[in-house]
Chains A and B, each alone.
Chain A
């Protein structure tokens, strides 16, 4: 029913050099694509390391192998979170993102949970399904054979089952739940405390179905790695996401700024940070099982910073650098370029304060507690910084965007009134 209306507003730029397009756009977009390739490439490398650590856990469950798998998960989040700035603005990423980073989840779909806190609800009758404990069940009236838990079962049948977004069966947070378990500490300090014996063989197995739990964990991890392979390929030489932004540098610049602004405001400041504080609900923590939320927010912010300054530090310490949005903006409006850079730096300082507090023992869920003024102050200061940087990003859009404006139009059906007659 939708059709595109290319709005009639043509754009002419304030002419600085007299050139039709801003000099350097193509180089800026190329560097952006290089950063995309590097950040998704790193996410894949770390995903493969996570997969190896999980294989080791399943082969030989122990405190040590579980701890190593958790450590690998935490490391894997570092490049992935820095990639989130690519999501909004690049439809190819946004369409895919739900498979790997969907959140929040009704984890009772996957495994055992504390019945007092989770389970089936009006919104989600499958919230207490517990696939690990049940080899056969029904979804939306259809029988499902889950006798073997495969990547395909997770991706095609369980993920977003019954069209409920909270039925997150795949991705980082499903794996996080299978490694840490539910965090039952509320807004007190402490993460999930899943025992390694949840993966133990025979009589040592705790909470039942350890073999199926291992099967689920393995399948979800394989799926994550293959999803990451796909996206890394999209940004590598010859990949579609890369080709799209390179083909039209002006549109690529808009995609960069759209990604920065949408992640800053609607997603991170609003959905992920402010709502949690207002609800005082530790379930609203982005990485609620592992208590890694401070890092999740920090590296989201860093990703935005990377795109603006055109610089990304890879997981092996090497750097990807090149022409940046900051350079491009400086040439057009040096004052605004400085303001925007300063706003992004300020956000990183605020997110850094949250990270520092969390790493010294004042965890993110504690910050969310009712009446915890210090926590609220920490989080809301970062929210304010993200909102402020969004305004500067909007100003940069006004200066840098050269593409024609596309607005969503509708033909509203040919004759909608017919229905009412």
Chain B
């Protein structure tokens, strides 16, 4: 991904200097609004997100223990991926720690390292899968949701039986996901956890953010950069260029989740935006709401689960338009959410190429 200079330059000035565009409810200072916004976003958006992923990953572990074969595991796999889509935009704190976000979802895999590493592991019958602690150190190419997707959905891997090496590998990947999901939940949602790092800002035990405005700005950065990521990667990779569309580069196409992931990501971003909205009434950001509704409707209307349609001009255009609409959402967010809250986009993991 090429850095968009404009995006990178989208910065805010001294928080004290930013003038809220929408006059807040009488007698509420910008600081009070920021504190309320932060509180709602953290407790009503982030905490449920880490809880949901922990629960879904635990179900996946149990499903793998009961029957490790693809058909039996696929429902729990999809539920876990759904829950991850509600969390993956929060690229911060326990999600970012120890590179967990990469270990849970290593994508895009531009050099095809996943299948290469999985095939080698299976050919060698590598005993690393028998020791959870060791497996946690293994290459992210053989861990997480995308390694599991190869095992459960790719013809090259999905023909294994109970008690085979592949079966134990699948269980090891599920267990590793369960371990990480639980660690994120505990480190985020417990007393003194990352939620308090965000909420208490400078007063937190180990401060990362020096004011509530900084905490809020971090969440706002996650919101917009996740949308940019969806546009540039989930949409941008499969559509490629007009001359050279790349449907085989769609995210999670083997499990037919490419379209679903875009929709779930948009829904997660919308929920975060709503929780952050300066007034509890969603009317505070009418253009944003309209743009989200329209974009999600366009994605739902695609009816192209794996983005195979990217291969023909009309299908490709439909997908491309979703990306353009996402860009519109980002613009509306800046005006209707960022500006009234006195926050803007900071540096994010998508900077760089």
**Hey, which bits of chain A sit against chain B, CB under 8 A?**
1-2, 4-5, 7-14, 88-91, 94, 104, 106, 121-123, 140, 162-163, 165-166, 254-255, 257-258, 261-268, 270-271, 274-275, 277-281, 283, 370-371, 390-391, 393-395, 397-399, 401-403, 405-413, 416-417, 419-420
Of the stretches B12-20, B56-64, B179-187, B259-267, the one at the interface is: B12-20
Residues in A whose Cβ lies below 8 Å from that of B5: 88-91, 94, 258
CA distance A121 to B339 in the complex (A): 46
In contact, B339 and A409 (Cβ under 8 angstroms): no
In contact, A88 and B324 (Cβ under 8 angstroms): no
- How far apart are B310's CB and chain A's nearest CB, in angstroms? 14
In contact, B19 and A255 (Cβ under 8 angstroms): no
Can you list, as one digit per residue, whether each of B103-136 has a CB less than 8 Å from chain A (1) or not (0)?
1001000111100000000000000000000100
Known: A13-B17, A405-B11, A405-B12. A416 touches B321 (CB 8 A): yes
A sample of 19 cross-chain residue pairs with beta-carbon separation below 8 angstroms, ordered by A number, consists of A7-B335, A12-B13, A88-B3, A88-B351, A88-B352, A89-B8, A166-B111, A258-B8, A261-B346, A270-B349, A278-B106, A279-B106, A370-B139, A371-B137, A398-B11, A408-B331, A413-B324, A416-B298, A419-B321
Interface residue from B113, B334, B346, B350 paired with A394 (Cβ < 8 Å): B346
CA distance A144 to B288 in the complex (A): 49
In contact, B112 and A394 (Cβ under 8 angstroms): no
Which has the most chain B C-beta neighbours within 10 Å: A165, A258, A395? A258
Given contacts A9-B18, A278-B106, A420-B318, 15 further A-B contacts (CB under 8 A): A8-B335, A12-B17, A13-B13, A14-B16, A90-B5, A104-B111, A121-B111, A163-B244, A254-B11, A261-B346, A394-B11, A398-B11, A405-B11, A408-B330, A416-B298
In contact, A410 and B327 (Cβ under 8 angstroms): yes
In contact, A265 and B11 (Cβ under 8 angstroms): no
Is residue B72 within 8 Å, beta carbon to beta carbon, of the partner chain? no
- How far apart are A315's CB and chain B's nearest CB, in angstroms? 27
In contact, B9 and A265 (Cβ under 8 angstroms): no
In contact, B112 and A121 (Cβ under 8 angstroms): yes
CA distance A408 to B328 in the complex (A): 8
Residues 306-353 (chain B) with a chain A CB within 8 angstroms: 314, 317-318, 321, 324-325, 327-328, 330-331, 334-335, 339, 344, 346-353
In contact, A279 and B113 (Cβ under 8 angstroms): yes
**Interface size range of chain B in the complex:** 35 or more
Interface residue from A13, A123, A165, A262 paired with B3 (Cβ < 8 Å): A262
In contact, B103 and A278 (Cβ under 8 angstroms): yes
- Specify the chain B residue showing the minimal Cβ separation from A260: B347
Is residue B277 within 8 Å, beta carbon to beta carbon, of the partner chain? no
Residues in B whose Cβ lies below 8 Å from that of A10: 19
Interface residue from A163, A266, A371 paired with B349 (Cβ < 8 Å): A266
Interface residue from A8, A11, A91, A263 paired with B17 (Cβ < 8 Å): A11
Is residue B4 within 8 Å, beta carbon to beta carbon, of the partner chain? yes
In contact, A405 and B347 (Cβ under 8 angstroms): no
Residues in B whose Cβ lies below 8 Å from that of A268: 352
- How far apart are A404's CB and chain B's nearest CB, in angstroms? 9
Residues in A whose Cβ lies below 8 Å from that of B330: 407-408
Residues in A whose Cβ lies below 8 Å from that of B3: 88, 94, 262, 266
CA distance A162 to B352 in the complex (A): 22
Interface residue from B14, B325, B349 paired with A13 (Cβ < 8 Å): B14
Can you list, as one digit per residue, whether each of B1-34 has a CB less than 8 Å from chain A (1) or not (0)?
0111111111111111111010000000000000
Interface residue from A266, A402, A405 paired with B352 (Cβ < 8 Å): A266
**Hey, which bits of chain B sit against chain A, CB under 8 A?**
2-19, 21, 99, 102-103, 106, 110-113, 134, 137-141, 208, 210, 214, 217, 240-241, 243-244, 248-249, 298, 301, 314, 317-318, 321, 324-325, 327-328, 330-331, 334-335, 339, 344, 346-353
In contact, A261 and B137 (Cβ under 8 angstroms): no
- How far apart are B96's CB and chain A's nearest CB, in angstroms? 8
Which has the most chain A C-beta neighbours within 10 Å: B6, B112, B208, B210? B6
In contact, B324 and A1 (Cβ under 8 angstroms): yes
Interface residue from A12, A166, A255, A278 paired with B140 (Cβ < 8 Å): A278
- Specify the chain B residue showing the minimal Cβ separation from A274: B99
Q: Top 9 nearest A-B pairs by Cβ distance? A: A266-B351, A267-B352, A266-B352, A409-B331, A262-B351, A410-B327, A261-B347, A11-B13, A407-B334
- Specify the chain A residue showing the minimal Cβ separation from B321: A416
CA distance A25 to B103 in the complex (A): 43
Residues in B whose Cβ lies below 8 Å from that of A262: 3, 8, 347, 351-352
CA distance A1 to B231 in the complex (A): 14
Residues in A whose Cβ lies below 8 Å from that of B301: 420
CA distance A7 to B10 in the complex (A): 10
In contact, A402 and B331 (Cβ under 8 angstroms): no
CA distance A409 to B327 in the complex (A): 6
- How far apart are B124's CB and chain A's nearest CB, in angstroms? 13
- How far apart are B102's CB and chain A's nearest CB, in angstroms? 5
In contact, B139 and A4 (Cβ under 8 angstroms): no
